[in-house]
A = this chain, B = another copy of it.
Amino acid sequence: MHGEMGEKILNTADSIMVQHGYSAFSYADISEAVGIRKASIHHHFPTKAGLAVAVLRAHREKLIRSAEMLDAQMESPLARLQAYIHHWEGCIRGKTVSFCVAALLGAEMPSLPEEVQVEVRLHFKALGDWIERTLKAGVRKRVIRLQGTVAMEAQTLMAVVHGGMLSARALENCDVFRMVTDATMNRISTEKS
């Protein structure tokens, strides 16, 4: 469906949106970054909202694919969650991708075109569902011990990850992300801290 250039635009749009959000990124920014004229980007992605939707869809598909891979490759559900969190820690530390696009757009929700809002909602749903499934599996395998309901703990873990990202960005200090995620993972782990 997309050509080589289409993909290049998509990736560039992703990395720009991660830095600046939806309203503060423009076709001109992408144009300069990929070395193509502004109008040519409209050829690949006619509207800004459509481009954002494409970016979010790709992001969600990547999330789902990665989750499936983790599920298949790692035995321990606890280790899978840890891998997910570790992935983001790496992203934040190697500051090129210092935030989750969907989470960022979640903050901008009220000023987003409806079609974009839908994709953001889908991401939060998909992520929450995977965490919940994984927590459940961890409880079954006795590597995870929860204090509240699974839904509660899944939403809490997601909130900690996103809130941790926010703090890391605001304080310009990646350690805070590790701190809060470590605390949370230690809490739900049945192993000794």
Q: Which residues of A are interface residues toward B (Cβ below 8 A)?
A: 19-24, 98-99, 102-104, 106-111, 120-121, 123-125, 128, 147-148, 151-153, 155-156, 158-164, 166-167, 169-172, 176, 179-180, 182-184, 186-187, 193
Contact = CB atoms under 8 A, between A and B. Distances in A.
A152 B51 CA distance: 39
Given A124-B170, A167-B124, A156 B148 contact: no
Q: Say how many copies of this protein the assembly contains.
A: 2
Contact of A107 (B104, B151, B176, B183): B104
B155 A176 contact: yes
Given A21-B23, A159-B159, A186-B147, A107 B180 contact: no
Max chain B C-beta neighbours (<10 A), residue from A99, A125, A171, A193 = A171
Given A152-B179, A183-B152, A159 B160 contact: yes
B186 A148 contact: yes
14 contacts: A19-B111, A103-B166, A107-B166, A121-B171, A124-B167, A152-B179, A155-B167, A156-B184, A158-B163, A160-B160, A162-B163, A162-B167, A163-B163, A187-B187
A57 to B, nearest CB: 16
A28 to B, nearest CB: 14
A87 B109 CA distance: 21
A46 to B, nearest CB: 21
B159 A107 contact: no
Contact of A169 (B20, B107, B161, B170): B107
Nearest to A170: B106
Contacts of A98: 110
Contact of A156 (B21, B102, B160): B160
A115 to B, nearest CB: 15
Contacts of A120: 170
A109 B179 contact: no
